[in-house]
């Protein structure tokens, strides 16, 4: 357990905790090397040995305070028997839903598919690279998973307006929540010390539908994670009112995107805050990158603040810039 957990528990820390979303990924040549030899992305996620190696790659290079497991939110639809493929230059493509089959899947059938993830977590949490550091497990939020399962591809391409009208939708929602809990529980049992809930498409939902698709299911998951004695960070990307979200959902910490005004967040929210910096700032020259980072550090200097980005590291990022930024944050104060 490390300073990330301490910060979320509102303890004073010797430096500002830092990790990045997508810190293990395509901007690292050592990741691209493994990836080029493993063209099936899901198989790579389910290769406990290689996914451990990838999880630890960024910690070998940079002074991050936590590792996030190398996995994917879409392993839940996969475990529910939905066909899943990652097409180059397109993104995920999901198959048709066999609702009858999904509803009848047993816990064991689900565990069997996801077992390598738990093996990865167990082995990684015991690795000496993570001494005094945290290991973050995660799930996609219920809404974001429902979007992928019914839309069958990234909603960035198009969002099927009929997704709200699926007659079996309430049953699917229930099964997703049930499976998320199974997956979270196993991750915690195997050594994940913090859970992050990624609601990457929260910004697409109309406000009048928030209660059913975002607030209620996320609150249920947050309560569940807390009942396991573990902290939970929520990242409802693109929503308009982070304050209302925090008041209702009550995560242990809130991760903010790069479009929201950090000054307003600092005024409105008193739980620990994570992130914010636009990942594109890492494509700037050193001086401008650090100026932008300093802005967040100053705004949140009287808060419990976890340094992170407002979304994942962009593949074009130069690892040298990541090092400069991490060292800058670690030396701040």
Name the residue nearer to ligand 1CP (CB basis): 232 or 299. 232
Name the residue nearer to ligand 1CP (CB basis): 246 or 309. 309
Name the residue nearer to ligand 1CP (CB basis): 1 or 93. 93
Name the residue nearer to ligand 1CP (CB basis): 48 or 68. 68
Name the residue nearer to ligand 1CP (CB basis): 22 or 52. 22
Is the Cβ–Cβ distance between 92 and 85 less than 8 Å? yes
Q: Shortest Cβ distance from residue 36 to ligand 1CP (Å)?
A: 9
Q: Shortest Cβ distance from residue 129 to ligand 1CP (Å)?
A: 15
Give CA separation, 51 vs 69, 116, 120, 232, in Å.
8, 9, 7, 23
Q: Shortest Cβ distance from residue 18 to ligand 1CP (Å)?
A: 14
Name the residue nearer to ligand 1CP (CB basis): 198 or 266. 198
Name the residue nearer to ligand 1CP (CB basis): 69 or 173. 69
- Residue indicated by tokens 């990457």: 200
Find the residue with minimal CB distance to ligand 1CP.
154
Q: Shortest Cβ distance from residue 47 to ligand 1CP (Å)?
A: 13
Q: Shortest Cβ distance from residue 209 to ligand 1CP (Å)?
A: 19
DSSP string computed for 230-291? -EEEEEETT-S-HHHHHHHH--SEEEE-TTS-HHHHHHH--S-EEE-B-GGGGGS-HHHHHH
Name the residue nearer to ligand 1CP (CB basis): 34 or 103. 34
Burial of 88 (0-12, 13-18, 19+ CB in 10 A): exposed
CB neighbour list of residue 326: distance below 8 Å, 6 or more residues apart? 18, 62, 63, 64
Q: Shortest Cβ distance from residue 66 to ligand 1CP (Å)?
A: 11
In the structure encoding, which two tokens stand for residue 99, read together? 């609702």
Q: Shortest Cβ distance from residue 148 to ligand 1CP (Å)?
A: 7
- Which residues are at the interface with ligand 1CP (CB under 6 A)? 21-26, 35, 41, 68, 70, 72-74, 86, 91-92, 138, 154, 156, 198, 200, 312
DSSP β-ladder status, 231-236 and 253-256? parallel
Tell me which DSSP letter residue 196 carries: E
Cα–chain center distance at 217: 17
Which 3 state secondary structure label does DSSP give 133?
coil
Q: Shortest Cβ distance from residue 234 to ligand 1CP (Å)?
A: 12
Residue burial 123-161, b: 16+ Cβ < 10 Å; e: rest: bbbebeebeebbbbbbbbbbbbbbbbbbbbbbbeeebee
């Amino acid at each position: 357990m490390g300073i990330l957990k301490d910060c979320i528990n509102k303890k004073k820390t010797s430096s500002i905790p830092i990790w990045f979303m997508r810190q293990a990924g395509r901007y690292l040549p050592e990741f691209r090397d493994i990836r080029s030899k493993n063209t099936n992305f899901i198989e790579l996620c389910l290769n406990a040995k290689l996914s451990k190696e990838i999880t630890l790659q960024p910690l070998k290079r940079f002074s991050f305070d936590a590792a996030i497991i190398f996995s994917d939110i879409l392993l839940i639809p996969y475990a529910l028997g939905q066909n899943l493929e990652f097409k180059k230059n397109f993104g995920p493509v999901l198959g048709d839903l066999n609702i009858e089959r999904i509803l009848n899947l047993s816990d064991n059938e689900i565990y069997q598919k996801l077992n390598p993830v738990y093996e990865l977590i167990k082995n990684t949490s015991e690795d000496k690279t993570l001494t005094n550091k945290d290991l973050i497990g995660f799930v996609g939020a219920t809404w974001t998973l429902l979007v992928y399962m019914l839309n069958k591809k990234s909603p960035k391409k198009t969002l099927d307006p009929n997704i709200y009208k699926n007659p079996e939708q309430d049953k699917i929602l229930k099964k997703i929540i049930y499976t998320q809990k199974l997956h979270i529980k196993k991750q915690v049992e195997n050594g994940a010390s913090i859970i992050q809930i990624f609601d990457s498409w929260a910004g697409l939902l109309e406000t009048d539908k928030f209660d059913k698709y975002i607030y209620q299911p996320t609150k249920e998951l947050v309560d569940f994670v807390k009942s396991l004695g573990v902290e939970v960070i929520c990242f409802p990307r693109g929503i308009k009112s982070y304050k209302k979200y925090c008041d209702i959902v009550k995560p242990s910490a809130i991760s903010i995107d790069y479009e929201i005004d950090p000054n307003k967040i600092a005024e409105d929210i008193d739980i620990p805050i994570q992130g914010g910096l636009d990942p594109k700032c890492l494509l700037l020259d050193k001086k401008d990158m650090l100026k932008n980072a300093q802005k967040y550090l100053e705004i949140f200097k009287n808060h419990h603040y976890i340094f992170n980005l407002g979304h994942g590291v962009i593949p074009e990022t130069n690892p040298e810039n990541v090092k400069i930024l991490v060292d800058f944050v670690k030396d701040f104060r």
